[in-house]
């Protein structure tokens, strides 16, 4: 029998992976630094012998638990003569996000059985991003006004497969939806590009009234046959699992432009192409100090980023946007939104 501890002993994961597990004798010791258990492969808590009691549940190895443990590279360890699962070398403190961990586990169990654990483990960061994006979508939808006729049972997803999965993936959905006349559609096959959500921030210095743009080579433009594959953009990046869009925006500003943002102002969050892409963009204007010489070369070498930043008067960005010279959608949205919103923002900042 295997003793489940920590996150695996919590009902959120236990019911999904080993529903027949039963309470067992506690172990003497404690678990530390496991805030990302079930979220990152290296996030499982450390075991410390000594005082304290650690709750355990015992179970035989189920097929679901075996697949899950293999995906995370999680192995049993012997503690006081018992085989214990749920212990690792994590170093993340803070609250455990059980909702995200369960969403990741459910995603893993839906993958085809012949996908190797090594491949799944390599994709865990992206799987976590996609799982987190689904949680945000559910929470945010509850706060949005509904379009007439829309309801919780307006769409039925009959099947989901994942024919392509590397860093990003493609989902094939077979779905049916309510028609505007009250009937139901025939089953529809839809292929959707899955990439998780992203945060986009346009740095703006309201004192100098200038912005910072970046440029980098974009594979989408190359694949389309575009002879101008370097595009002006705002700073942007994926929202990691367990991270908020705001935190991602601040982090990306440092990574891509070496820039500290003083304040984020929410812009027009949106789906850029919801007919075939599940990506959702969180757009911000970032209040920053942009003196001469604050532009340069940035990006992370570990992600093969080659990014150049540019300082530009806000009026010039607006001119380029209206002239059709800004071809990156999120930057175009932020440029036009900021042109309309600048007086209000300046008044809020006490600079109007």
- Binding-site residues for Mg(2+), in ranges, read 236, 252, 256, 305
DSSP codes joined into one string, 165-200? ESSSEEEEEEEEEB-TTS-BPPPEEEEEEE---EEE
Distances (CA, A) of 274 to 151, 248, 268: 18, 22, 15
Catalytic annotation, pick one of 58, 78, 150, 303: 303
Strand order in the sheet with 82-85: 22-32, 46-59, 2-4, 82-85, 77-79
> Cα–Cα distance between 336 and 245 in angstroms, integer?
21
139 belongs to the catalytic site: no
Beta strands in 144-299 (DSSP E): 155-165, 169-177, 188-194, 198-205, 210-217, 230-233, 235-238, 263-266, 281-287, 297-298
Q: Residue 306: in which H helix or E strand, if any?
A: none
Tokens 């923002």, located at residue = 345
Strand order in the sheet with 169-177: 155-165, 169-177, 188-194
> Cα–Cα distance between 349 and 1 in angstroms, integer?
62
Residue 338: which of 210, 195, 233 has the closest Cα? Answer: 210
Tokens 């292929």, located at residue = 191
- Residues forming the active site: 303
């Amino acid at each position: 029998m295997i003793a489940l501890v920590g996150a695996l002993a919590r009902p959120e994961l236990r019911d999904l992976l080993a529903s027949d597990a039963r309470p067992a004798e506690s172990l003497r010791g404690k678990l530390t630094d496991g805030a990302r258990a079930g979220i990152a492969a290296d996030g499982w808590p450390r075991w410390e012998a000594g005082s304290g009691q650690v709750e355990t549940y015992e179970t035989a190895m189920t097929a679901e638990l075996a697949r899950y443990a293999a995906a995370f590279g999680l192995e049993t360890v012997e503690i006081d003569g018992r085989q214990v699962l749920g212990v690792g070398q994590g170093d993340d403190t803070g609250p455990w996000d059980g909702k995200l961990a369960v969403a990741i586990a459910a995603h893993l169990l839906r993958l085809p059985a012949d996908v190797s654990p090594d491949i799944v483990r390599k994709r865990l960061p992206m799987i976590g991003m996609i799982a987190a994006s689904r949680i945000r979508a559910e929470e945010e939808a509850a706060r949005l006004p509904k379009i007439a006729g829309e309801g919780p049972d307006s769409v039925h997803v009959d099947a989901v497969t994942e024919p392509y999965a590397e860093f990003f993936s493609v989902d094939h959905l077979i779905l049916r939806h309510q028609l505007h006349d009250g009937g139901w559609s025939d089953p529809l096959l839809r292929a959707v590009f899955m990439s998780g959500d992203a945060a986009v921030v346009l740095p703006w210095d309201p004192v100098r009234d200038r912005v910072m743009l970046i440029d980098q080579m974009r594979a989408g433009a190359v694949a389309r046959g575009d002879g101008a594959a370097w595009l002006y953009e705002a700073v942007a990046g994926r929202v990691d699992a367990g991270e908020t869009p705001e935190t991602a925006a601040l982090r990306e500003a440092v990574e891509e432009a070496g820039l500290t943002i003083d304040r984020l102002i929410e812009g027009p969050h949106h789906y850029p192409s919801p007919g075939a892409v599940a990506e959702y963009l969180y757009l911000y204007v970032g209040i920053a100090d942009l003196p001469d010489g604050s532009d340069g070369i940035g990006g992370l070498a570990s992600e093969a980023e080659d990014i150049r930043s540019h300082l530009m008067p806000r009026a010039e960005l607006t001119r380029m946007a209206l002239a059709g010279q800004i071809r990156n959608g999120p930057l175009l949205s932020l440029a036009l939104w900021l042109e309309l919103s600048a007086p209000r923002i300046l008044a809020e900042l006490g600079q109007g």
